[in-house]
Amino acid sequence: MKGVKRRDFLKLSGTTLIGLTMGSAALRAHAKEILTTENQAAQALKYTPSSTVEGANCANCMYVQGKEGDEHRPCMLFPNHLVNAKGWCSGWVKRPN
């Protein structure tokens, strides 16, 4: 039986890991839906798509991810959902500078 060289194994392993990571990230990006106030998690955290708290909104929260300036962005508090950047919930924490 012919053995695989260590260098070839590492190249193949690294490429496979990158492929799996990028593939799963792409699938997650397409699986998101906009969070509504009818969602149970949104109700529990008192989510509103329009913040009434001055200086506090989803765009400046440490839990929000995604591209700065997008209207709807992913939030770690609401998996598989996008929140309005102008929204707010009781889980809001100011993003460190």
Q: What is the mean pLDDT of residues 5-11?
A: 72
Q: What is the pTM of this model?
A: 0.67
Mean pLDDT along residues 53-66: 94
**pLDDT computed for residue 5 by the predictor:** 78
Provide the pLDDT for residue 47. 97
CATH, range 32-97? 4.10.490.10
Question: Per residue in 23-52, pLDDT tens?
Answer: 555 545 555 899 999 999 999 999 999 999
20 is written with which tokens?
Answer: 């799996």
52-76 average pLDDT score: 94
Query: Exposed, middle or buried by CB within 10 Å (0-12, 13-18, 19+), for 86?
Result: middle
Would you state the structure tokens that stand for residue 25, as one six-digit string? Answer: 């990230």
Domain ranges of the chain: 1-31, 32-97
The stretch 59-85 carries a mean pLDDT of 94
pLDDT for the residue numbered 39? 95
CA 7, 9, 14, 16 dihedral sign is: positive
Side chain identity at 4, as an amino acid letter? V
